[in-house]
Amino acid sequence: MNMARITCPSCQGVGQMSLLDVYYRGPYRCWKCRENFLIEMEDNDLKSCSPMSQEEFDRFVAEKAARDRQKNIGMS
């Protein structure tokens, strides 16, 4: 497991996130200012970061949870 460091573009707060894979694309919420972002990381390097509304953030999280449930059902 890798610990990635992310500097928030809004408040410059530095957060950490544990990654299981070398590539990650998904939501990130700053611990300090609570802004939501869609980030893309590869080898612990932040490749892209764009703001997300709370609705987009919630939808992204819900869709990922649904995909994960489907994946787990297929493994049973």
Domain count within the chain: 1
Q: Could you list the residue range(s) of the whole structural domain that residue 70 is in?
A: 2-75
| Average pLDDT along the chain, 76 residues, taken 10 residues at a time | 87 91 91 96 92 95 90 72
In this prediction, residue 75 carries a pLDDT of 65
**Could you give the CA distance from residue 52 to residue 59 in angstroms, rounded to a whole number?**
11
| Residues in contact with 26: Cβ distance below 8 Å, sequence separation at least 6, in sequence order | 38, 39, 60, 64
In this prediction, residue 76 carries a pLDDT of 56
In this prediction, residue 40 carries a pLDDT of 95
Q: What is the DSSP letter of 22?
A: S
| Residues in contact with 20: Cβ distance below 8 Å, sequence separation at least 6, in sequence order | 1
